[in-house]
Structure 1
């Protein structure tokens, strides 16, 4: 496909009322909402070094948490000519992992720290469209809006913050001309797993004094359903998936609620309660039945300990 025919195809699909695919919808936003030209060959705009540093400083804790996962993901895909990038919610690249041999190519394409890859600026692309739609995407070569970007494949997954708001996008981009869509799907699965891990780790780091509970139904194939429970057994934080599952506030601070009310109580102990009962029983055993000592070991008050023991059916030894 020539450069001109790609631009013509995008323009035609963008203005077609019969085109209903997600890709066509993104092309339409790019052209009609953002006023972009698919034939525009300008590189993405980049922040100045001081502007980039300000953004990085504001997200220092998040970048620190995400760093090991970027390293691990790069270890899996880096040798195949891929560039691993982490952006903020605006599509600005904050951090990346790329080999020295591939750096010049990616820098020429603008896949570099400080570059703005929002859909508003670059049209349909992995980072921008992932953030615009809040979902995992694969944008393969000529699915990009701008003709100049059709030489790359991009696999992206969103990362949601502890407040339920979109926090970042995790991206793997490839410059390989022989990269197949099947291989893209394999990389996309790794990207999604790394994004979930970053999200869960940052959630835990955001509630250092709380007990983190994996709610029933959460597993490694879906976004983590985590609750942060304080010393009084009140749920004070929830991941986006948990917020949706339990009908909590969509975004922002969480109104504290009894964790037991959210997780439900059957005649028999739930998975959560069984885990809590085991933890309390272990603490009592280690303290040789001394409730005060067991409470101190769990970091709770003696009165709270007695309430938990009563609720969980544990008598004082």
Structure 2
């Protein structure tokens, strides 16, 4: 990168920081954090910092369950974006990628830029960037080329979304980064849609893994986003809720210290009852399908008596062949 271009970017960042633009622009507010709070210089050319191998292993272990939940979604996202010169990074809440997908032909370039496992991409180290700024602001964003704080990162385009764990807490960030000069902002917007979809699937899978014995239901909210999930036990008590469901239903950490009757959730007992009945109907239908309609075998598989299963089938109007 030429000295004139480097100086021009640094000057532009410093001028924006000195103006009143930070009150109106989230980007300039991030630049100001990078300069004033973290004491970074936009013209700094030092390469990204890396964790040691033991430190990286510890970081990965801290979110091991989430990493396992993310595997298929990372593969699917990479299939969508890898062919256009992008890599996929799953970073922990400290901004350190612990899992990565990328094409071997691009590995040298991405490693040079620090788009690799173990690199440190929080705002404290790298200033405004996709992973670090996403984790600070907890929102989906794209930091496109010269929107980066450091001049040395202005050839990158990074689209990142936050990932919340089964307790609704910020746990990680999912990033798609590119070093291609021809990556347009319009295409970055398409990548953003793919990243958000992958995050929803990762959060849902992680939630299911956290409550393996519970029924996972869409929360009874007006706008049923795919992320608004609740976990209900065999007694129809709510034992878990995703961040989307917590926000929509006003469920706090304190609320879930003891199980909540599902019928007591906002949205009305009738609506909740319908959701629970539909979920139970599905369980019974799957049990009957696996036993070729044999009620006795299905009852045994469900660990209930034949008479109880008959009552449930009649109440839920589930048809059977035997």
Query: TM-score, with normalisation over the residues of structure 2?
Result: 0.85
1:105 partner SS: helix
Match of residue 263, structure 2, among 257, 260, 265: 260
> What is the CA distance between 1:64 and its match in structure 2?
1.6
Gaps of 5+ in 2: none
Gaps of 5+ in 1: none
Q: Relative to 1, partners in 2 of residues 1:284 and 1:159: Cα closer, same or farther, differing over 3 Å?
A: closer
- C-alpha contact 2:17 2:32 (8 A) present in aligned 1: yes
Q: Relative to 1, partners in 2 of residues 1:107 and 1:284: Cα closer, same or farther, differing over 3 Å?
A: closer
Aligned to 2:104: 100
Match of residue 177, structure 1, among 181, 184, 196: 181
Match of residue 154, structure 1, among 151, 158, 173: 158
Aligned to 1:24: 28
Give the whole-Å Cα distance in 1 for the aligned partners of 2:19 and 2:311. 64
Aligned to 2:10: 7
Match of residue 231, structure 2, among 210, 228, 231: 228
Report matched runs for 1:1-317 at 5 Å: 2-19=5-22, 20-217=24-221, 222=225, 224-249=227-252, 254-262=257-265, 264-265=267-268, 271-276=274-279, 278-279=281-282, 282=285, 297-298=301-302
> What is the CA distance between 1:9 and its match in structure 2?
1.1
After TM superposition, the runs of 4+ consecutive aligned structure 1 residues lying more than 3 A away are: 216-220, 250-255, 263-271, 279-287, 290-314
Aligned residues: 313
> What is the CA distance between 1:266 and its match in structure 2?
6.0
- C-alpha contact 1:244 1:250 (8 A) present in aligned 2: no
CA RMSD of aligned residues (A): 3.3
Q: Relative to 1, partners in 2 of residues 1:26 and 1:302: Cα closer, same or farther, differing over 3 Å?
A: farther
Instruction: Using the TM superposition, name which of 193-202 and 222-231 deviates more.
Output: 222-231
Give the whole-Å Cα distance in 1 for the aligned partners of 2:81 and 2:270. 49
Q: How far does the alpha carbon of each residue in 1:201-231 deviate from its partner, in whole angstroms, 9 at most, with x for none?
A: 11001100111011234878x4510001011
